[in-house]
Amino acid sequence: MDQKTKINKALRALPVLEGCPPEVFERFVEGSIVSVHDKGKILFLQDEPAERFYLLLSGWAKLFRETLDGAQAVVDVLSSGDLFGETAIFYENEYPFSAEIVERAELVSLPLALFKSEVEKNGAITLNTLHHLARHNRKQGREIEHLALQSAPQRIGCFLLRLFDQTQGGPVTIHLPYDKTLIAARLGMQPETFSRALKKLRTETDIDVAGSTVTIGDIGRLSAYSCGGCSSGFPCDDLEHANCRH
């Protein structure tokens, strides 16, 4: 499959562009740039004027904010199919966070100006985008609640539960999507705390941990432990992969 076809296909899978006429996709493909980056590559910095937005084809990226005294808050960790940097056009034309590749990634970047003009022109895209932003608001609201009210082990439990389809019953084995240090940062805790909290979770609920493989013996027990500290109850929506429909 040639490069352009591949990009086109990736773009068609985006809910924000759902319902666009073919020529719009053509225009996006025209303006696209594909690149591959290794771990450590900074894509852009917070408050930088935003020119382009990104779509991950493979690999992992983290979005973060860095305080003046050097502390870092990981806002999100993204993978294949995820879109980021697109909100800049609706507010100040600056990125609201920095973005860094954390695992060798292939990505497509697209001009924000093009997106903006399409949004202004095409009602369907506009509504998709509204929905997209609203979903993101929900996700952030939940994030705030979790940070304010959940304990470290609860946050981990909650994170684990959102890694698989919660409507399935029975024991589940999952693979942690990225390394524990990063999960810890994503959940707003230190690596040491993560390690200890996971151990506590092992004694409190019946999960098994072997390296990066976690086996949940009893989903009900884990959710009873974790979801008590959340307003959404169990099962809860994913909200994570808002942009991909694989």
Residues that bind DNA (CB under 7 A): 151-153, 179-182, 188-199, 209, 211-212
CB of 138 to a copy of itself, least distance (A): 5
User: Helix H segments across the chain?
Assistant: 3-12, 22-31, 112-121, 123-149, 152-161, 180-186, 191-204, 219-226
**Chosen from a copy of itself, DNA, none, partner binding at 143 (C-beta under 5 to 8 Å by type):** a copy of itself
Task: Please tell me the chain's helix, strand, coil percentages from 3-state DSSP, rounded to the nearest 5.
Answer: 45, 25, 30
Least separation in angstroms between residue 185's CB and DNA is: 10
Q: Residue from 19, 39, 147, 171 that binds a copy of itself (CB under 8 A)?
A: 147
Six-digit token pair at 150? 């959940």
Give yes or no for a contact between 79 and 73, defined as CB atoms under 8 angstroms apart.
no
CA distance 202 to 194: 12
Contacts of 1 (CB under 8 A, 6+ apart): 9
| Identity of the residue, 3 or 231, whose beta carbon is nearer to a copy of itself in the bound complex | 231
N-to-C CA span, the chain: 18
User: Does 235 help bind a copy of itself (rule: CB under 8 A)?
Assistant: no
Binding-site size for a copy of itself (CB under 8 A) equals 43
Q: For the window 170-209, what string marks contact with a copy of itself as x by the rule CB under 8 A?
A: ------------------x---------------------
Tell whether residue 213 is a contact of a copy of itself (CB under 8 A).
no
Q: Which two tokens stand for residue 100?
A: 């860094």
202 binds, among a copy of itself, DNA, none (CB under 5 to 8 A by kind): none
Query: Which lies closer to a copy of itself via its Cβ, residue 57 or residue 132?
Result: 132
Contacted entry of a copy of itself, DNA, none for residue 126, CB cut-off 5 to 8 Å set by kind: a copy of itself
Select 107 or 189, whichever has its Cβ closest to DNA. 189
- Min dist CB 218 to DNA, Å, is 21
User: Distance between CA atoms of 164 and 167, rounded to whole angstroms?
Assistant: 9
Q: Helix, strand, or coil here: 72?
A: strand
223 binds, among a copy of itself, DNA, none (CB under 5 to 8 A by kind): none
69 touches a copy of itself (CB under 8 A): yes
Kindly give, in sequence order, each residue whose CB lies less than 8 Å from that of residue 167, ignoring residues fewer than 6 positions away.
235
Cα distance between residue 98 and residue 62, in whole Å: 8
* 87 neighbors 96 (Cβ within 8 angstroms): yes
Binding-site ranges for a copy of itself (CB under 8 A): 46, 65-69, 71, 73, 75, 87, 90-91, 96-97, 119-120, 123, 126-127, 129-131, 133-138, 140-141, 143-145, 147-149, 188, 227-231, 233
